[in-house]
Every structure is written in structure tokens, then in C-alpha cells.
Amino acid sequence: MTEPSATASVDVAVDPETAFQAFTEEIDLWWVRGPINFWDSARAIEVRIEPGVGGRILEVYADDALERGVITAWEPGVRFEYRSSTDDTETTVSFAPIAAGTRVTVVEALVEGGTKAVYSWRNVLHWFPAWIARRDAAPHAVREVGRLAVALYYEDPAAAARWLHTVFGLETWDRIPEEGTRPTWIELHAGSSSIILLRRSEPGRPSSDHSTWVYVDDLEAHFAQAQRNDAKILQEIHQYGYRSYQAEDLEGHHWTFAQARPTMQ
């Protein structure tokens, strides 16, 4: 059964007017550009909020854009609301003054008679305070991951992420999972390089311990080349936010090839 609503809140150490401006005008700076954080990661070049009633929430592509929602209320420093264009929800983002700065609260609610809801803000809102904490010193430029990543498989990826963060000092553009959480995807970073932590599903095989991710310019051409040269295809081209295929090399190691975004250098 679809939940009727979902709520998430974060506190940031700036006034409501600054928080509202940073949230709306700088969303492309604080949005984490991981492969699963877009509807179509292979094509996305920007996330944008157009200001004012009638403005749109957009995932921008080189030649098109996906309209995520249309703004129905716009009060700078106080709140904005939008009606989703991709499901049956209405979302309110409010900015309330507190002693330490501002509490940003997002409420996503199923509209009356609606049946489809995708409550995504509770998974991404925590990126915003991380941006506020560094925005005065950080370059106001989009962070983009590199073309090569390593995926590591663990029985407990969340525990592994905490250990790697504490012991080896690996950071993340997202967040280190807390005790008791079991996320399916964790992405750590060393500079612009990604280290993806996934749950082990095939214990005992070398290929289940790690795999390599490579982002390529033309996924179809790359897939055709792999087929012509008799690579063992584990999964043909498919889309899950990102477009990719999986293959096995001559000694059984797994490789994932994904379509690069136009913004990836």
C-alpha cells in the first residue's frame, strides 16, 4: 500500500532567506551526481528549479529536459510547493527559523485519489546541509565523478563504509550510513573517483569481491565490440537511472560499462 505522505527535515546554520536561495538557486551544486541519483543519469547535465509560480523542477539534458514538477506556491525565505509531473504527489519545502539557523522540512503527500507516489526527498535532503557547511569556502562549480570506479562487495556494506571512513579516511559526497541502516548502494569518494559498496550475493568467487566500473561515450558501440570479441555478457544493456551492461573477463572478473554523462570529462 502506498504511504499517504513522507516527511524529512534538516537543520542548517544560515538564515531562512539564505537557505531558500541556496536550496533553489544552487541545487545543481549540492545535488550528488552519483549514477543512481537521476532519472536518466546517462543524459543529465543539470538539476534546475525555475523560480516563481509556474516554474518547473527540471532534470536537464543536452537537447531536452524531464519536467519533475510545476511550482504552485513561491514565498522566498518561507516555502515553495510543487505538483509532481511524474507521480501523484504534492511537495512542500518550508524554511523555518530556529535558534541555530533554519530548519528545512520537505513534506511529500499523495494527492486525493492518487495511486502512485515516489517519495525521494527523504533520501537526498541530507545532501543540502553538507553544501551549506562548505559553500563559503568551496568553488561554486559542479562536482562530477570520474570515468573509472571500483565496486567492492561486502556482507554488510554499511558497516564496511563506516570502517573505511574511520580507518582509511575515505569520504563521501553522500553520507556515511548510521548504525542499524542497510542501504543497497553506498558511494565513497577519493577525490573524484568513486568506490561503490554493494552487498555480496555470490560468496566465494573472485568476481564477487570486486568489479570495475567504466563510463564510456557510446554504450551501444562498446557493447557491440564486446559481443564481437566473444565477451561473456552477464547482463545486456539496461537502465536503472544509469544505462549499463555487465560482462565477465577471461578470468571471471566482473566489469560494468555505463553510459557517460555529457558533463563527464
Domains contained in the chain, CATH given: 5-134 (3.30.530.20), 148-259 (3.10.180.10)
- DSSP string of 60-80, one letter each residue: EESS-EEEEEEEEEEETTTEE
Q: Give the sheet arrangement for strand 148-154, strand by strand.
A: 186-190, 193-199, 148-154, 210-216, 254-259, 242-248, 232-240
Q: What are 190's three cell numbers?
A: 577519493
Low-confidence residues of the chain: pLDDT under 70:
1-2, 202-208
* Residue spans of beta strands (DSSP E) within the chain: 5-12, 44-49, 56-61, 65-75, 79-84, 89-98, 101-110, 148-154, 186-190, 193-199, 210-216, 232-240, 242-248, 254-259
So what's the pLDDT on residue 111?
94
Longest dimension (CA), the chain: 64
C-beta separation of 213 from 256 below 8 A: yes
Q: Report the predicted TM-score, pTM, of the whole model to 2 decimal places.
A: 0.86
State the pLDDT at residue 184. 82
At residue 209, the pLDDT reads 82
**CA distances to 19, 128, 192 from 61, in Å:** 27, 23, 22
The total number of residues shown for the chain amounts to 265
* DSSP β-bridge partners for residue 11: 103
- How much is the pLDDT for 28? 97
What's the pLDDT score for residue 213? 94
